[in-house]
Amino acid sequence: MAVRAIRGATQVDADDRDQILAATTELVTEVMARNRLTTDDVISVLFTTTPDLVAEFPALAARKLGFQEVPLLCASEIAVPHALPRAIRLMAHVETDLPRERIQHVYLRGATALRLDIAQ
């Protein structure tokens, strides 16, 4: 087994608790499915949000998906001018047999603009 990092991001329409939880749930679910992972494979997840999102911690969505034993951390992105607004990002550290080139990074909704080279 190797330790790999998986990136992902999504965007919401407003700083709204329900939107943050729904978008984060969708993002985490897609990362797990596309990389054939279970919570036992996940070492830790770092979530970040742009400074305009403060209505809820994205990690709460992961907890509701069964990540009780996985260390989770939320942080705020730096306020870069002209950055994509209302973005939620994650970096998951996982144990997997997948080679690096087969890892599926997941960019959803408006966040596909962040990584046009790898967005699905």
pLDDT per position as a tens digit, 66-76: 999 999 999 99
Neighbours of 70 (CB within 10 A): 20
Tens digit of pLDDT for each residue in 67-107? 999 999 999 999 999 999 999 999 999 999 999 999 999 99
- Arithmetic mean of pLDDT, 30-36: 98
Alpha-carbon separation of residue 72 from 15, 46, 49, 83 (angstroms): 21, 6, 14, 24
Query: Active-site residue numbers?
Result: 7, 63, 74, 77, 89, 107, 115
CATH code, 2-115: 3.30.1330.40
Dihedral angle sign, alpha carbons of residues 57, 90, 10, 66:
negative
